[in-house]
Amino acid sequence: MKRIEWTDRMTSVRIGDVAGDLRVRGWERMEVAVQDETGILATTEDGQIEARSMGDLVLRVPMDVPLEGCNVGGDAKIGDVSGRLSLENVGGDLLLRDAGPTEVARIGGDVRVKRTEGSVSLGMVGGDATIREVSGDTTIAQVGGDLYVRDVGGGCRAEHVGSDLVLSTGFAPGAEYRFDVGGDIVCRVPAGASVRFRTTHSPDLVVDAPGAQMAEGDHGDEVVFGAGEAIVQLDAAGEIRLVGQDEDYMMAINFQLEGELAERLAGLEERLTEQLSGLDELILRKTEKVRERAEKQAERAMRQAERVARKADRGKRKGFTFSFGSDPFETGFSRRPARAARPPEPPVEPVSDEERLTILRMVENRQISVDEAEKLLAALEGRRPG
């Protein structure tokens, strides 16, 4: 392991070009460390510490130092860092947890952001984006797939979303939220919310949330809850649906499954870490990749289930529905209760030969038993062990 002690003259950590995957994690030590043989660690004249690699790069940094990055060819996984983070390009997926203010210009794959202090700014996202528990504002230039936003403390804006949007947040008074979506929108309206919804070109608007009132705005009709202190502009090529706490069944299913999945994977990772402590770094990295692939596959399956559920439910409803609790509003509108759809069984991707080989090597080295290997394979294949 290569180390450089952090001193008062240090200003930031710069991550140069990384040909493979990048893993960065903060720790309480006042030093920067590279944990693999291919990584290069150096100090520049202006007080920066620079790290780069022709392969994968595993980097440990003090928790509160600023991070700057250039090009990452593969996936990037960053966590436990509270300093400002700025990345130019991530070729694969980006997983960011427990971080500070973040700015990333381009991501080729999916993005998952969870628990950040400060604002989050993302440029071009090639795949899906999941944004959760951000304390500040969130800005996204473009998302190629689906966008999931939950518990954003400030305003949120996505200039273009290629597919569907699921929005579940508290709508801070005075904040603005703007979304332009190529598919459908499902938006959860919390009880007691003070928010005003506007739309300029959406063919199908369905309101299944209690407490809604119609109002005339400068650009057409608006749906208002409470005093309407937060402004939400929603435009979609498909259906826009506003749901209440008791009717957001799709989001409830998603978040429940996500929580259970995260808990099970965390337990599996902990057990594997204890059992694999004697293996070399290469097998450890490959084992983690297997776990991350299973996690991403499960998330994608849940998103597909939600899309199928929304389309099935939309096919049973036509026109504009406007509901006030249990009493229908009878001026040109009809009340249609929301019908929960059972998500289909998620598709399962076969376990690769490389993953099977990794597990067999673990058994051969007596790090896990045959029974434990069977359970691990069963978890990756999405079935119960026999």
> For 110-146, what is each residue's pLDDT tens digit?
999 999 999 999 999 999 999 999 999 999 999 999 9
Confidence of residue 195 (pLDDT cuts 50, 70, 90): very high
Q: Kindly report whether the global pTM for this prediction surpasses the value 0.85.
A: no
* Amino acid at residue number 250: M
Radius of gyration of the chain (CA): 23
Q: Of 204, 232, 234, 236, which is closest to residue 320 (Cα–Cα)?
A: 204
What is the biggest distance separating any 2 CA atoms in the chain, rounded to whole angstroms? 73
For residue 116, how many other CB atoms are within 10 A of its CB? 26
With a cut of 50, say whether residue 338 has pLDDT above it.
no
pLDDT on residue 254: 52
pLDDT tens track for 230-265: 999 999 999 999 998 765 444 444 544 454 455 555
Q: In b/e form, how buried is each residue of 256-290, taking b as 16+ CB within 10 angstroms?
A: ebbeeeeeebeebeeebeebbeebeeebbbebbbb
Instruction: Identify the weakest region by mean pLDDT among 24-33, 279-288, 328-337.
Output: 328-337
pLDDT tens track for 50-100: 999 999 999 999 999 999 988 999 999 999 999 999 999 999 999 999 999
- 317-333: average pLDDT: 40
pLDDT tens track for 362-379: 777 767 777 777 777 777
